[in-house]
Structure 1
Amino acid sequence: MGHAVMTHTQTQSTVNYTHLPTGTQDLFDQLMEQADNTASNTEYTALMKALITVTGITGVRHGEILKCACACDCPAIFDADAPDALVTEPATGYNLGRLQCPDCADDHPQPVTD
C-alpha cells in the first residue's frame, strides 16, 4: 500500500519587482494603478486577487499587497498587512496608502509627518 506524501507549500510573502519579467511588471503597474483609483470595493478586491496571482505572493493575510514606497527605491512587493511594515503616507482620497516593507522600515524608517 502506498503512502501519500504531503508537501508543505512555503509562503512567499515578498517578491522582488525587478525579478518579474517586463510584461509582468507592466501588468502589475496597470493593475496597481486601477486598484489605486477604483471606487468599487468589488473591483478593488478583484484587482488585488489578480495582483497576488500575477506576483506569486502567497500567505497574504487580508488580500492586499503593495510595492514598497521607501525613498531608497526598494523593489519589494509585499503583504500590505505585514506586521512590521511602516506607513509613510496614509490612504487619503484613494484606496492605497504608501508603506515601507518590513526590511526598509527596520533599516531606515521614515515616520509619517503630521
Structure 2
Amino acid sequence: MTTVTAAPTTEPLTHYRQLTDLAQHAFDTAITQAHNACDADTYNAAMHNAGLAIGVVLAPGAEIAPCACIDCYCDAIFDTATDGLIVIETTDYGVQRFQCADCADGHPVTPED
C-alpha cells in the first residue's frame, strides 16, 4: 500500500476508472462524507477512508481529491499537495475542489467560468 505524505507529486495516485466497482463506491462515499463534513474529525476520518478505498494510507493532514475538471472526463485522483492544481470551487465548509495539474496545463478553468 502506498503512503501519501506532504511531498507533492505530479502523477495521479490512480485513475477512478481503474478502481473496481466496490472501490469506486467506497471512494465516492468517503469523498462525499468529507465534502459534507462540518468538523475536522469527521473530515479527516472520511479522507482516511477515501485513501484506503484507493489503496493509499494517508499521513495525518494529507488529502486526496478527484479531478473536478468541467471541460473533460479526467478521472485522476491525486494528492492535493501536488503543484499546478487550480481551485475550481470552495464549499461552504471550506473544502476545495481542484482541477488536476494536467487539465490545468491543457485547458485551465477559473472559478469564474
TM category (shorter chain) comes to 0.7 to 0.9
Unaligned 5+ segments in structure 1 are 1-8
Q: Does 1:51 align with 2:29?
A: no
Aligned to 2:108: 109
Unaligned 5+ segments in structure 2 are 4-8
Conserved 8 A contact 1:13-1:57: no
Deviation at 1:60, TM superposition (A): 6.8
Aligned to 1:78: 78
Work out the percentage of aligned pairs sharing the same amino acid: 38
Aligned length: 104
Normalising to structure 2: TM-score of the pair? 0.79
CA offsets 1:51-92 (integer angstroms, 9 cap, x no match): 112213468794111100002121001011211111111x23
Structure 1 pair 59/108, CA: closer, same or farther in 2 (3 Å)? Answer: farther
Choose between structure 1 and 2: higher strand proportion: 2
Structure 1 pair 52/76, CA: closer, same or farther in 2 (3 Å)? Answer: same
Letter of the 2:46 partner, please give it: L
CA distance in structure 1 between the aligned counterparts of 2:69 and 2:61, rounded to whole angstroms: 22
Structure 1 pair 59/39, CA: closer, same or farther in 2 (3 Å)? Answer: closer
Larger-gyration structure (1/2): 1
Structure 1 pair 100/43, CA: closer, same or farther in 2 (3 Å)? Answer: same
CA distance in structure 2 between the aligned counterparts of 1:110 and 1:104, rounded to whole angstroms: 8
CA offsets 1:7-36 (integer angstroms, 9 cap, x no match): xx9x87421000000011011111111111
Report matched runs for 1:1-114 at 5 Å. 13-57=12-56, 62-71=61-70, 72-89=72-89, 91-113=90-112
Normalising to structure 1: TM-score of the pair? 0.78
Higher relative contact order (CA 8 A, sep 6+): 2
Structure 1 pair 59/41, CA: closer, same or farther in 2 (3 Å)? Answer: closer
Conserved 8 A contact 2:67-2:99: yes
RMSD between aligned residues: 2.5
Letter of the 2:66 partner, please give it: K
